Amino acid sequence: MSKNSNSLIAFVIGAGVGAALGVLFAPDSGSNTRDKLSFRLSKYKKELEELIDELVEGKELHLNEAKTEGKRVITEAKNKAENLLSDVNKLIDQINKDKN
């Protein structure tokens, strides 16, 4: 993961923990505190799920790009190897002709 992704995840987690602690230590009744905490946690859970989906989609995009680049490099290497083999065969033929 990139540094920005890690920072964003750390921020979201920190905000969630801070909000939860703030709600827990606020002077309110237990049921109101639990309701507020439940609401905020479900909100942060949804945000985290969206963030994870975005990260997974980004990773899939990079994997597809990497596969495409890998195929291009392999094809290029194969073509260069075939050209070298052809040149070697021509040189061998020329050497054999010069011997005779």
Q: How many structural domains comprise the chain?
A: 1
| Lookup: tokens for 85 | 């083999």
Residue range of the domain that includes 24: 3-99
- Per-residue three-class SS string for the chain: CCHHHHHHHHHHHHHHHHHHHHHHHCCCCHHHHHHHHHHHHHHHHHHHHHHHHHHHHHHHHHHHHHHHHHHHHHHHHHHHHHHHHHHHHHHHHHHHHHHC
Answer with the residue of higher pLDDT: 87 or 63.
87
Confidence category of residue 100, pLDDT binned at 50, 70, 90: low
Answer with the residue of higher pLDDT: 82 or 36.
82
The per-residue pLDDT for 65 is: 79
pLDDT digits (tens, 9 = 90+) for 12-65: 788 777 777 776 676 767 777 777 777 878 888 888 888 787 777 777 667 777
- In the predicted model, what is the mean pLDDT of residues 67-76? 86
Whether residue 96 is predicted with pLDDT greater than 70 in this model: the reply is yes
